[in-house]
């Protein structure tokens, strides 16, 4: 079962920041937070992952609270092409012997409006 809780849906205006929350109150010390997204009729796409420090890449930023019980994925300037289902996943990194499989919940359906 998924170890995360996400809102079912969110809306965002084009050009504004999209902030997608995720609760993972039972996260273990060696579990990372991963984010994937799935655009309609496509396979999931990796976005970013982190352990406890905030992370940023060309797609998004990941903010993890100090107690690691929740995190926020930030799309700084959302575009219409960012409309997708966003999945938050917690798992042990494979470099630390974690499972191969990804356990997806239902995710958050983000709609970016013009």
Partner 1 sequence: DTGVSQDPRHKITKRGQNVTFRCDPISEHNRLYWYRQTLGQGPEFLTYFQNEAQLEKSRLLSDRFSAERPKGSFSTLEIQRTEQGDSAMYLCASSLGLADEQFFGPGTRLTVL
Please identify which residue in 2, 10, 59, 74 interacts with partner 1, judged by CB under 8 A.
2
Contact between 52 and partner 1 per CB under 8 A? no
Stretch of 17-25, 43-51, 57-65, 74-82 contacting partner 1, by CB under 8 A: 43-51
Contact between 103 and partner 1 per CB under 8 A? yes
SS3 94: helix
Distance between CA atoms of 108 and 20, rounded to whole angstroms? Answer: 8
Stretch of 15-23, 52-60, 71-79, 90-98 contacting partner 1, by CB under 8 A: 90-98
Contact between 102 and partner 1 per CB under 8 A? yes
Q: Could you give the C-alpha distances from 34 to 14, 15, 42, 46, 55, in angstroms and in order?
A: 24, 24, 19, 8, 11
SS3 96: helix
């Amino acid at each position: 079962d998924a170890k995360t809780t996400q809102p079912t849906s969110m809306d965002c205006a084009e050009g504004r920041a999209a902030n997608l929350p995720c609760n993972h109150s039972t996260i273990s010390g060696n579990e990372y937070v991963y984010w994937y997204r799935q655009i309609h009729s496509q396979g999931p796409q990796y976005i970013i992952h982190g352990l406890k420090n905030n992370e940023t890449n060309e797609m998004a930023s990941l903010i993890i609270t100090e107690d690691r019980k929740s995190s926020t994925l930030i799309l700084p300037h959302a575009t219409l092409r960012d409309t997708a289902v966003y999945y938050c996943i917690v798992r042990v990194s494979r470099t630390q012997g974690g499972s191969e499989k990804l356990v997806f919940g239902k995710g958050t359906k983000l709609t970016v409006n013009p």
